[in-house]
Amino acid sequence: MSRWKYPLMLLGGIGISNVGAWVYLIALNLIILGETGSPLAIALLYILGPIATIFSNTWAGSLIDRVNTRLLMMGLDLFRALCIAVIPFLPSLIYVYVLAFIINVGSAIFQPTSMVYMTKLIPEKDRQRFNALRSFINSCGSLIGPGIAGILFWMGTPYTAIHINAVALLFSALIIMILPNVDVRDKETEMQRFSWELIKNDCHIVFNFSKKNAYITKIYLLFSSTTIIMTAIDSLEAAFAKGVLSISDTNYGYLLSIFGAGIIIASFINSIFTKRLAVNHLIGVGTIFTSIGYLVFYNASGFFSAVPGVFLIGFAVTFANTGYLTFYQNHVPVKIMGRFESLFRVIEASIIVAVTVVIGLAAEFTSIRPVGLIASMSFLFLGLLAWKAVTGSKRQAYFKKGVSSFNS
């Protein structure tokens, strides 16, 4: 248990932050939908994250790999908490969108920073179990967050719920503050001046690694593709549930809790049977069944027929994400991980913006259900590609051990 002391503390911070994030997301979705009644307005809210990633991650990776990741995570939590606390006092939706963009910039930098920190903190032999427990903690947030949001909506307004996330981020920053420092900077790194020339050189390093390790890059790109399609499909979720299925705000919260329950059960299975669950099977089977869950959901006719699809999405995506993240942490060297993830996330975010806008426009001018079904079929195709990519005797070595060194 001694070696799990700090990982469990980190998981606690992640869990607190995640509860607040769900409350914030649901509240902001309902605020925008209540003001506009438009699925396109919700889609625009969803693409703020990818746009923020494009804006920040071109240079963020070079910063992340050269600063103290723990201190950077603390600063980003405090910054986001302050910004979120201001949202209820804004005079119009335009200002809400602007501040949401700024918050997303902080989140876009926090994501690769936390990945680097976690990879340094957690030994390779414990990563699959940690990722499963992380999914479990996140799912608890998915389960508790919507429930808290529903209570807050009943007691007050979505703006009241917004403040919950600000408080959660403050608690997260306090927990990160007492975690150990895992960064050791050499003199060469400390003397490097942050400049565009340095950023260009870092891009060259990432490109060379990607070229030399084509299979690792291929698996990561598959993971990015699933993220792209899930983000695009999820941008229609609230509008479909409320507009097509006529689900109330409270029942919508329950539906998200069912999604969280699927993640909890899958995370429990994954954490208990870590040694028996092969990473490549987690990736292939998890991706396929996630797409099936979306097909069930967008074929639903009401709350009860939507439940199996939502549960399956949460259940299957947990296995897929655990597999992808474990593969990524074991094969991308931690010394370039910030730059690798940040630069690829810029590409991913650019495609997310385009795909989400197209899907949002298609849903606005046609119908949400067929658009959701077509997107879900595209997801199924990605699942089949993932299964083909991770099976076969030639690829087994990649799923047994990671890299031990890297020459840039």
Residue 358 has pLDDT above 80, yes or no: yes
H or E segment at 260?
A: helix 249-272
Dihedral sign of CA atoms 51, 138, 318, 6 in order: positive
Mean pLDDT of 375-399: 81
Radius of gyration, alpha carbons of the chain: 20
pLDDT at 311: 92
pLDDT band at 361 (very low <50, low <70, confident <90, very high): confident
Distance CA 122, CA 401 (A): 15
Nearest to 205 by CA among 407, 3, 1: 407
Q: What is the DSSP string of 58-102?
A: HHHHHHHTTS-HHHHHHHHHHHHHHHHHHGGG-SSHHHHHHHHHH
Q: What angle do CA 377, 382, 387 make, to 5 degrees?
A: 125
pLDDT at 295: 93
Give per-residue pLDDT as tens, 286-302: 999 999 999 999 998 88
pLDDT at 187: 52
Mean pLDDT of 71-90: 88
Amino acid letter, 205: I
Residue 404 has pLDDT above 90, yes or no: no
Residue 9 has pLDDT above 90, yes or no: no
- By 3-state DSSP, what share of the chain in percent is helix, strand and coil, each rounded to 5? 85, 0, 15
Amino acid letter, 7: P
Residue 40 has pLDDT above 90, yes or no: no
pLDDT band at 397 (very low <50, low <70, confident <90, very high): low
pLDDT band at 228 (very low <50, low <70, confident <90, very high): confident
* 194 C-beta neighbours (distance < 10 Å), count: 12
Mean pLDDT of 253-275: 81
pLDDT at 36: 76
pLDDT band at 406 (very low <50, low <70, confident <90, very high): very low
pLDDT at 147: 67
Amino acid letter, 379: F
Portion of the chain with pLDDT greater than 70, in percent: 88
pLDDT at 296: 93
Give per-residue pLDDT as tens, 145-195: 666 776 766 666 677 777 777 887 888 889 989 888 887 765 555 556 667
Taking each helix axis from N to C terminus, what angle separates 368-390 and 279-298, rounded to the nearest 10 degrees? 170
Give per-residue pLDDT as tens, 95-135: 888 888 998 888 888 888 888 888 888 888 888 888 888 87
pTM of the model: 0.73
Q: Look up residue 182 and give its DSSP letter.
A: -
pLDDT at 130: 85
pLDDT at 403: 45
pLDDT at 407: 39
pLDDT at 380: 92
Range with lowest mean pLDDT among 19-33, 56-70, 116-130, 323-337: 19-33
User: Does residue 353 contact residue 50 with C-beta atoms inside 8 Å?
Assistant: yes
Nearest to 196 by CA among 58, 288, 81: 58
Q: Say which residue, 365 or 40, is predicted with more confidence.
A: 365
- Mean pLDDT (the chain) is 81
pLDDT band at 398 (very low <50, low <70, confident <90, very high): low
